[in-house]
Structure 1
Amino acid sequence: MRQYSTDLTPPWKKKQAPAPEVPADPGLVVEEPGSGFCGAVIRCEAGTVTLEDRFGKHRVFPMEPRGFLLEGRVVTLVRPTQAPAKPARTASGSVAVPGARARVARAGRIYVEGRHDAELVEKVWGDDLRIEGVVVEYLEGVDDLPAIVSDFGPGPDARLGILVDHLVPGTKEWRIAQAVTSEHALVVGHPYIDIWEAVKPTTLGIPAWPRIPHGQDWKTGVCKALGWPSDNTGAVWQAILKRVTSYKDLEPELLGRVEELIDFVTGSDGA
């Protein structure tokens, strides 16, 4: 039988030296001595802790000093020092699947215009694409896109998605895209002249992408306007790509189109 003093204060709560503080981490098993309830911590919030016993019963207790027993020792439960770990994310923002193996490549493909486009898509969506078994290939331009699609021969089990630069109504790219009519091929695009522009200026520490007069090589003009080496745009691109770490570094106009293509090729659009 527990003994109480004349002021009815339980002996384990009488003023004594501070008890060791123990974070109330989920799964920690403690006993609340006043009630004898013993259980594992399942929640800690607003100055209280919720315990679950071996029968699945829950009880909520205040987190008072010297309020619990841990392996027979009096302790003071305190809030965990670290928040519960959040699920890891891929660069595209998807929930990462630890230990997932790449799926055997699908018959379907995603085509992009150039090497830089392919490298950017791989860096941000590579983990997702490998899990889905989607291969990305680059075309070095889309002038012959209708013939390329015809040669590929898209079908219900081999869908083809194409990402086009500068896909704006009235442009050459727009007219070419309109010539692709297969129901198993989807052509989408972003409004930028080059994939470089899909990287947010803030990611690169510049106020904005400069406007380059029509007729000038866009990449060369950009490098000259920003004081970057204009004789090696490939090296400049690698420096840009290095600054991209996740989808947050890219413009929404590109993000939505790539996600749309992945959904289409994997058949997750409900078709």
Structure 2
Amino acid sequence: MTVTWEELGWERVAAGVGRRRLPVWDCTAGLVVGAGAALLIDAGSSLGEGARLRAEAQALAGHRVTHLALTHPHFDHVFGAAAFADAEVFGAAGAETALGAGREALRADAVANGLDRRRAEEAVDALTAVRHPVSGERTLDLGGGRQVLLADVGPGHTSHDLAVLVPGSPEVVFCGDLVEESGEPQAGPDALPGQWPAALDRLLRLGGEDALYVPGHGAVVDAAFVRAQRDALAARFGVSR
């Protein structure tokens, strides 16, 4: 029996492309479906959430998730990654080190933000490694004429921000937390505020004026929103063009 995106709580953004707004932290997970392959973008905030995403993604794609792209190394985006242990895992260059050496900081941040301590410890213990660091750009072929572009557009929100461009009509750009719609962009201790506006400039060049931009938190936005957020961040952090 075929299920629709909407029946599983997903928003269909373009043909074969959708996203799921997850509860509690309103974090976005994305899915790009190819012929015999599928890419999940971010994996949720716990092992249980990752397992649910995997089941839903497989139902929508009709086959397993073969690729996982982690937009940045924060717990609400990576703690479900162990549910995709048999997938090829991608992240911006340096994310593999951040996820390896920074596990205690990830656990502490998750608990401080309200994740149950036991679930945080389970996720940290099982955390899947980034096997394919992306420096610059890398194209993935998902089959059936479906290709996606992974781009290391940071630093900004973190030192290791990865964007995912899905060509098509419209083009879709998964931004991670470089862009947030449901609240002011969060600049934690690992943010590089002085470089964040330039990262958004790179993101806009990647997608162009007519793309749909999927933020790490909140509703899908357009280029004008991203540009306005870029200008607001520049003003907030005293960054000139």
TM norm structure 1: 0.23
Question: As a proportion of its length, which structure holds more strand?
Answer: 2
Which structure has the larger Rg? 1
Structure showing greater relative contact order (alpha-carbon pairs closer than 8 Å, 6 or more residues apart): 2
- Using the size of structure 2 for normalisation, the TM-score is 0.25
